[in-house]
Structure 1
């Protein structure tokens, strides 16, 4: 499953490529709603089929320059876990 992006706003970078801005949601191309259930037309969300969901994450994404917030429900729908630990204990104490 490759999720694309739907956003509340848009901006054009210096290279002329349209990028998402504002609040972003995960969206599957070919459907009329985001993964969290918001209808894209009624909510007036712009769809960006050329931008992957992983590319708009503020911590690591390349298209996250103007992203103000990421939908929590869409994060959960794509497999992100809130209490996932970024580290792993390799030598636990007995």
Structure 2
């Protein structure tokens, strides 16, 4: 965790996607057992933007990225499926 120029808390380190009202990340990791902090004021899109632009170490959970990606945005498709 770190604070930006305005004094707002921002996520740092390993970052997971979280929906308000749930006690676990989208990948299934329990927030309490893993010792993760909640950042309800930071959207997942903002966290992805921070990971790309900030010089602070921020690692996005690959399972959470896959869970937030839409079903139509799959990076692969079958060329010749079985009959």
TM-score (norm 1): 0.67
Q: Residue 36 of structure 2 is aligned with which of 33, 45, 63?
A: 45
Change (3 A) 1:55 1:67: farther
Report how many aligned residue pairs link the two structures.
71
Structure 1: where are the runs of 5+ without partners?
1-9, 85-94
Specify which structure has the higher proportion of strand: 1
Distance (whole Å) between structure 1 residues aligned to residue 26 and residue 44 of structure 2? 11
Asked if 1:28 is matched to 2:19, the reply is: yes
Q: Which runs of 4+ in 1 moved over 3 A?
A: none
Aligned Cα RMSD in Å? 1.7
Structure 2: state its 5+ residue gaps: 77-83
Instruction: Report the alpha carbon displacement of residue 77 of structure 1 after superposing the two structures with TM.
Output: 0.7
Q: Distance in 2 between matches of 1:78 and 1:20?
A: 18
8 A contact 2:11–2:58 mirrored in 1: no
Alpha-carbon distance between aligned partners in 1 of 2:62 and 2:4, rounded to the nearest angstrom: 26
